[in-house]
C-alpha cells in the first residue's frame, strides 16, 4: 500500500515528501494510521548527522494515531485502538532493564537498523528511531505502541511520546524537584516548555526560563515560568540576583550545547542539581576544574528520555491532563502539514519554534 512520507535520502540532504510502499503488518507488528506527529529537535539532529541514523530513512518519533491492522500474535491492541508511539521500547532482558532503568535499555533502538518499507522504486527504507512517524501510516513492532489513556485528545497525545515524557521526567525523575525549590530551565522548545509545566506541577517556588529568542517569553510564562531571561553570558549572574545571590536549586538544560550546560551549572546553587536533557554533538566539550567540583558540591547528571518508563508514566501524565494541570495545547506553536516539516526544521534552527505538530 502506498502512503505519503517525509524521506531522508542521505544525511544532510533535504527531506523529500514522496510516496512509499508500506507492507501489511507481519507477526508481532502493528500498522498505525497517524493522526499527528511532533517535529522534535532530535529529528533535526538525525537529519544533519549529529545523531546517527541508517539512511534512507523516514524520521519522526513523537506520534499518535489509530491502529489500522495487526499481525499474527498481537494481543495488546486491535484495529481502532488509539495509540501513542513508543520510540524506545525496552527489551526487558538487558542489564539496564534488569535494574529497572528501562530508559537506558541497550536494545531499545535496534529496530532502527531494520528495513520496514521501500520507496516506490524499490529502495529499502529504515524507520528513524524505530517508528517512522513522518508519514500518513507506519508499521511498527507491537512493543512500540501504547493505548492512549482516556481523556487525552488523540492529536495532542503525540506530544506524550517524547516532549512531555522527557521534560516531565527530567523534573520529576532525574532532578526530583521538590515543592518550594527554585528551578531554571535552559531552552524553551517543546521539551523545555514541558519541563516548565512539570516544575510548576512539582510546586517550584520560582521558575526561570532562559532562551535565546524573545519570541519564547510568552510561551514560557504560559507554561509556568515566573521569570524569563534572554540567553547571554550574564545569565548565571542574573539568576543569582533573582535568588538571593545563591543560584537555583535545580538547573535543567534542554539545549545540548556546551555553553548552555556550563551556564546551567554556574546558575545552580552550591549543593544544587544540574540535569542535562539536551542532546549535543560529540565535539561539544565542557571543562571543569578540580577545585570548583569540590567547592560547589553540585551534582551534574545526564537524563535519557526523562528517565521515564512510558508504560508507568503515561497514565500519570493523562491524569495531569484530565485535571487541567498539564496543558498539551500550550506546547504547540504551529499546526502544520507533512510538506511543512522542512520549514519547521528551519524554525528550530532560528530559535523561533516551540513544538510544531503535523496533522495527518
58 & 135 share domain? yes
Residue 49 confidence (pLDDT): 86
Residues 35 and 358: their CA atoms lie apart, in Å, by: 8
Mean pLDDT computed over 40-69: 93
Residue 52 confidence (pLDDT): 87
Average pLDDT, the chain: 95
Q: Report how many domains make up the chain.
A: 2
Among 9-18, 40-49, 156-165, 177-186, the minimum mean pLDDT is found in: 40-49
Residue 70 confidence (pLDDT): 98
147 & 188 share domain? no
Look at residue 83 and tell me if it is in a domain.
Answer: yes
Nearest to 132 by CA among 28, 232, 234, 32: 32
Segments forming the whole domain that contains residue 266 = 164-304
- Supply the CATH number for residue 275's domain: 3.40.50.720
101 & 8 share domain? yes
β-partners of residue 103 are none
Residue 317 confidence (pLDDT): 97
Look at the chain and count its residues: 360
Can you tell me which residue has the cell 520510540? 87
30 & 140 share domain? yes
Residue 320 confidence (pLDDT): 97
Could you read off the pLDDT of 236-284 as tens digits, one per residue?
999 999 999 999 999 999 999 999 999 999 999 999 999 999 998 888 9
Residue 229 confidence (pLDDT): 98
111 & 144 share domain? yes
Residue 353 confidence (pLDDT): 63
C-alpha angle 271-274-278 in degrees, rounded to nearest 5? 175
Among 292-296, 330-334, 353-357, the minimum mean pLDDT is found in: 353-357
Residue 221 confidence (pLDDT): 97
Look at residue 317 and tell me if it is in a domain.
Answer: no
Q: Is pLDDT above 90 for 17?
A: yes
Residues 270 and 43: their CA atoms lie apart, in Å, by: 35
Q: What is the pTM of this model?
A: 0.95
Look at residue 229 and tell me if it is in a domain.
Answer: yes
Mean pLDDT computed over 336-359: 87
Residue 350 confidence (pLDDT): 76
Look at residue 299 and tell me if it is in a domain.
Answer: yes
SS3 of the chain: CEEEEEEECCCCCCCEEEEEECCCCCCCEEEEEEEEEEECHHHHHHHCCCCCCCCCEECCCEEEEEEEEECCCCCCCCCCCEEEECCCCCCCCCHHHHCCCHHHCCCCCHHHHCCCEEECCCCEEEEHHHCCCCECEEEEEHHHEEECCCCCCHHHHHHHHCHHHHHHHHHHHHCCCCCCCEEEEECCCHHHHHHHHHHHHCCCCEEEEEECCCCHHHHHHHHCCCEEEECCCCHHHHHHHHCCCCCEEEEEECCCCHHHHHHHHHHEEEEEEEEECCCCCCCCCCCCCHHHHHHHCCEEEECCHHHCCHHHHHHHHHHHHHCCCCCCHHHCCEEECHHHHHHHHHHHHHCCCCCEEEEC
153 & 186 share domain? no
223 & 256 share domain? yes
Residue 41 confidence (pLDDT): 87
pLDDT band at 11 (very low <50, low <70, confident <90, very high): very high
Look at residue 319 and tell me if it is in a domain.
Answer: no
pLDDT band at 336 (very low <50, low <70, confident <90, very high): very high
Taking each helix axis from N to C end, the angle separating 258-267 and 235-242, rounded to the nearest 10 degrees, works out to: 30
Mean pLDDT computed over 163-182: 98
180 & 135 share domain? no
333 or 226, which is more confident: 226
102 & 209 share domain? no
pLDDT band at 50 (very low <50, low <70, confident <90, very high): confident
Residue 330 confidence (pLDDT): 92
272 or 350, which is more confident: 272
Residue 347 confidence (pLDDT): 84
Q: Is pLDDT above 80 for 351?
A: no
Look at residue 38 and tell me if it is in a domain.
Answer: yes
Which grid coordinates are listed for 27? Answer: 507477526
168 & 220 share domain? yes
Look at residue 316 and tell me if it is in a domain.
Answer: no
179 & 137 share domain? no
- Supply the CATH number for residue 14's domain: 3.90.180.10
Residue 348 confidence (pLDDT): 82
pLDDT band at 355 (very low <50, low <70, confident <90, very high): confident
Contact 174, 307 (CB under 8 A): yes
Look at residue 47 and tell me if it is in a domain.
Answer: yes
121 & 236 share domain? no
Q: Which residues of 300-315 are buried (b: 16+ CB within 10 A; e: fewer)?
A: beebbbbbbbbeebbe
Could you read off the pLDDT of 19-36 as tens digits, one per residue?
999 999 999 999 999 999
Amino acid at each position: 500500500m502506498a502512503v505519503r512520507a517525509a524521506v531522508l535520502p542521505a544525511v544532510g540532504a533535504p527531506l523529500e515528501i514522496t510516496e512509499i510502499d508500506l507492507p501489511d503488518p507481519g507477526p508481532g507488528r502493528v500498522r498505525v494510521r497517524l493522526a499527528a506527529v511532533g517535529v522534535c529537535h532530535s529529528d533535526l539532529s538525525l537529519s544533519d548527522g549529529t545523531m546517527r541514523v541508517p539512511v534512507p530513512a523516514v524520521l519522526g518519533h513523537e506520534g499518535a494515531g489509530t491502529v489500522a491492522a495487526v499481525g499474527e500474535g498481537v494481543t495488546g491492541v486491535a484495529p481502532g485502538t488509539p495509540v501513542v508511539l513508543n520510540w524506545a521500547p525496552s527489551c526487558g532482558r538487558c542489564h539496564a532493564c534488569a535494574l529497572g532503568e528501562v530508559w537506558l535499555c541497550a536494545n531499545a533502538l535496534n529496530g532502527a537498523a531494520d528495513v520496514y518499507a521501500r520507496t516506490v522504486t524499490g529502495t529499502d527504507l529504515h524507520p528513524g528511531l524505530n517508528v517512522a512517524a513522518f508519514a500518513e501510516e507506519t508499521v511498527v513492532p507491537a512493543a512500540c505502541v501504547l493505548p492512549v489513556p482516556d481523556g487525552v485528545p488523540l492529536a495532542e497525545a503525540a506530544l506524550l511520546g517524547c516532549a512531555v515524557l522527557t521534560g516531565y521526567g527530567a523534573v520529576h525523575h532525574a532532578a526530583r524537584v521538590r515543592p518550594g525549590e527554585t528551578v531554571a530551565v535552559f531552552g524553551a522548545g517543546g521539551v523545555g516548555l514541558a519541563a516548565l509545566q512539570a516544575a510548576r506541577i512539582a510546586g517550584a517556588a520560582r521558575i526561570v526560563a532562559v532562551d535565546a529568542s524573545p519570541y519564547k517569553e510568552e510561551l514560557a510564562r504560559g507554561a509556568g515560568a515566573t521569570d524569563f531571561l534572554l540567553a547571554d553570558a550574564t545569565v548565571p549572574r542574573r539568576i543569582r540576583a533573582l535568588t538571593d545571590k545563591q543560584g537555583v536549586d535545580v538547573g535543567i538544560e534542554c539545549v545540548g550545547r556546551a555553553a548552555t550546560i556550563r551556564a546551567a551549572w554556574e546558575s545552580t546553587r552550591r549543593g544544587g542539581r544540574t540535569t542535562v536533557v539536551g542532546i549535543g554533538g560529540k565535539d561539544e566539550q565542557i571543562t571543569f576544574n578540580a577545585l570548583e567540583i569540590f567547592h560547589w558540591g553540585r551534582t551534574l547528571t545526564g537524563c535519557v528520555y526523562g528517565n521515564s518508563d512510558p508504560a508507568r508514566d503515561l497514565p500519570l501524565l493523562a491524569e495531569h491532563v484530565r485535571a487541567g494541570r498539564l496543558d498539551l495545547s500550550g506546547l504547540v506553536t504551529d499546526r502544520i502539514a507533512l510538506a511543512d516539516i522542512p520549514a519547521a526544521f528551519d524554525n528550530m534552527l532560528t530559535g523561533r519554534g516551540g513544538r510544531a505538530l503535523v496533522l495527518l
